[in-house]
Amino acid sequence: MKQLRVRVLFGLFAVAGVLSWAGARLWDTFGTLPRVPVAAPIVLGAIAAVLAATALSLRARLKAQRERRPGAKGVDPLVAARAVVFGQASALVAALVAGMYGGAFVFLLLDGLDAGPRRDQAIYAGLSVVAGIAVVIAALFLERVCKLPEDEDKDEPEGAAPA
């Protein structure tokens, strides 16, 4: 399984942000904007909390297993792999969603926050961006926790006997 690259996540965020900003400008010419749901930052925050809790739990279990503590509950490799896949998928989707709400946030800021409903929408969009970034950070942390240690004899050709 390949490790997520921060550049890819930032690229998704930027492209979604630009497209969202352009879409918001176009949509505004028709007189209204799509609403940012109040639940968006709440749901993203909950996903970030689940990812962080999973990472902390797996880290503690892996540490106990490495230290060979009596009664330590090991981590099934399939569970770790599923957690990493969940984290990677969450990070990719969160980067897109945060970019989308980021574009709407920038549009609302540039358009002016005089009206109360637009100010509320800007707040919800800004909180959604922050929560989306939290999901990405938690997912990268989970991926780092579940990463296997590097092989020490990488430089030796395959089949060669160690010296």
pLDDT, residue 79, reads: 85
pLDDT, residue 74, reads: 74
**Does residue 161 lie within any of the structural domains?**
no
**Does residue 135 lie within any of the structural domains?**
yes
pLDDT digits (tens, 9 = 90+) for 22-65: 998 888 888 777 788 999 999 999 999 999 999 999 888 888 87
Q: Using N-to-C axis directions, what is the helix angle for 6-28 and 77-111, rounded to 10°?
A: 40
**Does residue 138 lie within any of the structural domains?**
yes
Question: Can you give the residue range of the structural domain that contains 107?
Answer: 6-145
pLDDT digits (tens, 9 = 90+) for 55-79: 999 888 888 877 777 777 777 888 8
pLDDT, residue 7, reads: 94
**Does residue 163 lie within any of the structural domains?**
no
Nearest to 51 by CA among 90, 97, 6, 1: 90
**Does residue 156 lie within any of the structural domains?**
no
* Structural domains in the chain (count): 1
**Does residue 71 lie within any of the structural domains?**
yes
**Does residue 158 lie within any of the structural domains?**
no
Q: What is the pTM for the complete model shown?
A: 0.83
CA distance 60 to 92: 26
| Buried b / exposed e along 95-128 (16+ C-beta atoms within 10 A) | bbbbbbbbbbbbbbeeeeeeeeebeebbbbbbbb
Q: What DSSP character marks residue 33?
A: -
**Does residue 107 lie within any of the structural domains?**
yes
CB 134 within 8 A of CB 48: yes
